[in-house]
């Protein structure tokens, strides 16, 4: 069994996510950090849409492959370098820019937050389902 919190497990999960984005053009991820507060809350499920480099604009929230894994931050600058274009991002809740990343590491653009129903609504649905089941018995 593959343990998902080991380096090997994380690599496999990352590969599956990137394959999904490449094959289907869309990806759903759970945000773990607070760097994009208040726009994106920790624990939110975000939708990512695959895009080409020429489709992004300043202010877009982009998904990049970085040295530390994946980075979902706002695009604040684009630099032309001798070896290609560099993208500079920053979390909305961060004070400093992230290290530049090659535009070839662009994976997609933020397409929205998947809204989860409030916990009380899930409880009501569960109780409703339970009562319906009990009525049949």
CB 31 within 8 A of CB 41: yes
Range(s) of the domain holding residue 111: 7-136
Counted domains in the chain: 1
Best CA proximity match to 111, nearest among 38, 60, 73, 64: 60
Three-state secondary structure call for residue 131: helix
pTM: 0.78
Residue 1 lies in a domain: no
The model's pLDDT over 45-101, given as tens digits with 9 standing for 90+, comes to 999 999 999 999 999 999 999 887 899 999 999 999 999 999 999 999 999 999 999
Residue 88 lies in a domain: yes
CB 64 within 8 A of CB 21: no
* CATH number of the domain encompassing residue 14: 2.10.109.10
Rounded to an integer, what distance in angstroms lies between the CA atom of residue 123 and that of residue 73? 34
Residue 52 lies in a domain: yes
Rounded to an integer, the average pLDDT of 13-25 is 89
* Percentage of residues in the chain having pLDDT higher than 90: 55
Rounded to an integer, what distance in angstroms lies between the CA atom of residue 41 and that of residue 46? 10
Rounded to an integer, what distance in angstroms lies between the CA atom of residue 110 and that of residue 100? 19
CB 88 within 8 A of CB 98: yes
């Amino acid at each position: 069994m593959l343990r998902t919190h080991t380096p090997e497990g994380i690599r496999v999960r990352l590969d599956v996510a990137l394959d999904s984005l490449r094959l289907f053009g869309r990806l759903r991820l759970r945000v773990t950090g607070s760097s994009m507060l208040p726009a994106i809350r920790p624990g939110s499920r975000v939708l990512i849409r695959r895009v080409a480099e020429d489709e992004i604009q300043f202010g877009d929230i982009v998904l990049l492959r970085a040295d530390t894994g994946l980075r979902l931050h706002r695009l604040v600058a684009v630099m032309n370098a001798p070896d290609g274009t560099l993208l500079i991002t920053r979390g909305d809740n961060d004070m400093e820019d992230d290290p530049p990343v090659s535009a070839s590491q662009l994976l997609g653009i933020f397409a929205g937050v998947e809204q989860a129903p409030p916990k009380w609504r899930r409880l009501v649905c569960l109780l409703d389902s339970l009562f319906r089941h009990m009525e049949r018995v």
